[in-house]
């Protein structure tokens, strides 16, 4: 399944690929997902060439990129404590961009899925040039799963307002809701966007900004940078995955991890970063970029890999460097296939 197009691969994409001695991909390869699969294979081969240690077979552990990698790692540990013996799967968005999202194995309501839409979320529609698809399935998805905190900053789509409560830390039990949107997934998280993100980003600052929300690139840097040109006007695959799930709490930036789909979405984010890292491991494996403050406000010093990150008071701080390479054996030992 792919998005038909007569667009050609840009010179910027071809230049980035040749610099890393990567194969040339046709537009069909990119849009169908075969290019992304090939890049994943190359990244795995590069990672395994550099792997010298040993890992426990059960280990699949997964600031923005390293912080979420650590979050995935702690989530996997908690699942293992509950008896789950598998890895954290990732959601390959591209396979779901051509069909109704409610038919995806992720959200079709079957026993092996993460549930369906849940109760309908009323709103005026996402602000774009065509109408989003509206659908809903009554009831709590994911076996009656409820959410208990917030909302803190729950987006009211179609308006500039948000829903919140006076004290979002007080218990506020309600049914988890989703607002599945196939149009937004198709627009922002298709195979082309994912593959071009990997191939056109030679530096981490470009990759990271384009992944998170490419339309904000110039605002983030406060100046025009021609390296951003291939991504200006796009919202980024991270945004595309989140907004296509929507609902409560997934539509709340502070509480979106309350929906189990969050972890499969960020499993894919980690995979995309991992592929990008291991296409040029000598230059990218331990590369961090940016400051610890949002949009560098207030201005702060750049982060280094020797600093620590924390995801929760119940889990110890970890050094960023320990979560850059997934094949050190301690604490991480995994590849994506």
pLDDT digits (tens, 9 = 90+) for 103-121: 999 999 888 888 887 666 6
pLDDT band at 29 (very low <50, low <70, confident <90, very high): very high
Domain membership of residue 226 (yes or no) is yes
Domain membership of residue 328 (yes or no) is no
Better-scored residue on pLDDT, 266 or 254: 266
Can you give the pLDDT at residue 235?
Answer: 85
Domain membership of residue 4 (yes or no) is no
Q: Please tell me the distance from the alpha carbon of residue 117 to that of residue 140, in angstroms, as a whole number.
A: 8
Residue position matching structure tokens 């050094």: 319
Can you give the pLDDT at residue 7?
Answer: 29
In the predicted structure, residue 53 carries a pLDDT above the cut 60: no
- Distance from the first to the final alpha carbon of the chain: 20
Can you give the pLDDT at residue 154?
Answer: 87
Number of domains in the chain: 1
Q: Please tell me the distance from the alpha carbon of residue 263 to that of residue 304, in angstroms, as a whole number.
A: 26
Can you give the pLDDT at residue 289?
Answer: 87
Looking up residue 130, the CATH number of its domain turns out to be: 1.10.1280.10
Decide: 114 and 258 in contact? Cβ < 8 Å.
Answer: no
Domain membership of residue 5 (yes or no) is no
In the predicted structure, residue 92 carries a pLDDT above the cut 50: yes
Listed in order, strand segments (DSSP E) in the chain are 146-147, 154-155, 162-163, 174-175, 308-309, 318-319
Helix (H, G, I), strand (E, B) or coil at 210: helix
Domain membership of residue 6 (yes or no) is no
Domain membership of residue 305 (yes or no) is yes
Q: Please tell me the distance from the alpha carbon of residue 185 to that of residue 253, in angstroms, as a whole number.
A: 18
Range of lowest pLDDT (35-39, 70-74, 130-134, 199-203): 130-134
Range of lowest pLDDT (41-55, 139-153, 214-228, 232-246): 214-228
Q: What is the dihedral of CA 130, 136, 142, 145, to 10 degrees?
A: 100
pLDDT band at 131 (very low <50, low <70, confident <90, very high): very low
Domain membership of residue 132 (yes or no) is yes
Question: What are 50's two structure tokens?
Answer: 């550099």
Can you give the pLDDT at residue 125?
Answer: 55
pLDDT digits (tens, 9 = 90+) for 173-212: 988 888 899 999 999 999 999 999 999 999 998 898 889 8
pLDDT band at 213 (very low <50, low <70, confident <90, very high): confident
In the predicted structure, residue 222 carries a pLDDT above the cut 70: no
Q: CA-based Rg of the chain, rounded to a whole angstrom?
A: 20
Helix (H, G, I), strand (E, B) or coil at 184: helix
Report percent pLDDT > 90 for the chain: 46
Better-scored residue on pLDDT, 13 or 156: 156
Domain membership of residue 291 (yes or no) is yes
All residues at 6 or more sequence positions from 197 whose CB lies less than 8 Å from its CB, including other chains: 207, 210, 211, 231, 236, 237, 272, 276
Residue 184's domain spans which residues? 11-323
Q: Please tell me the distance from the alpha carbon of residue 274 to that of residue 256, in angstroms, as a whole number.
A: 23
Q: What is the dihedral of CA 16, 18, 21, 27, to 10 degrees?
A: 80
All residues at 6 or more sequence positions from 330 whose CB lies less than 8 Å from its CB, including other chains: 322
């Amino acid at each position: 399944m792919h998005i038909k197009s007569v667009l050609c691969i840009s010179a910027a994409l071809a230049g980035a690929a040749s610099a890393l001695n990567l194969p040339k991909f046709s537009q069909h390869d990119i849009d169908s997902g075969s290019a992304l699969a090939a890049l994943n294979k190359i990244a795995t081969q590069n990672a395994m060439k550099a792997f010298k240690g040993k890992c426990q077979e059960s280990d699949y552990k997964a600031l923005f990129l390293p912080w979420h990698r650590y979050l995935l790692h702690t989530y996997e540990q908690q699942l293992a404590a509950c008896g789950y013996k598998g890895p954290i799967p990732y959601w390959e968005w591209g396979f779901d961009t051509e069909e109704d999202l409610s038919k995806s194995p992720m959200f079709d309501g079957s026993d092996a899925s993460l549930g369906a839409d849940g109760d309908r979320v009323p709103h005026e529609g996402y602000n774009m040039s065509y109408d989003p698809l509206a659908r809903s399935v009554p009831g709590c998805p994911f076996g009656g799963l409820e959410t208990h905190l917030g909302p803190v900053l729950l987006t009211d789509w179609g308006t500039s307002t948000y829903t919140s409560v006076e004290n979002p830390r007080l218990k506020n039990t309600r049914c988890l809701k989703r607002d599945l949107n196939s149009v937004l997934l198709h627009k922002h998280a298709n195979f082309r966007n994912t593959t071009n993100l990997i191939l056109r980003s030679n530096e981490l600052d470009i990759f990271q900004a384009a992944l998170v929300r490419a339309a904000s690139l110039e605002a983030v840097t406060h100046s025009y940078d021609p390296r951003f040109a291939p991504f200006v006007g796009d919202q980024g695959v991270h945004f595309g995955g989140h907004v296509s799930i929507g609902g409560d709490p997934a539509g709340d930036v502070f509480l979106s991890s309350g929906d189990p789909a969050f972890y499969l979405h960020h499993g894919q984010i980690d995979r995309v970063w991992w592929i990008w890292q291991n296409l040029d491991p000598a230059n990218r494996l331990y590369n961090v970029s940016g400051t610890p403050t949002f949009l560098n406000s207030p201005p702060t010093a750049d982060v280094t890999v020797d600093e620590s990150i924390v995801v929760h008071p119940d889990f110890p701080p970890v050094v960023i460097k320990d979560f850059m390479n997934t094949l050190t054996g301690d604490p991480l030992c995994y590849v994506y296939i």
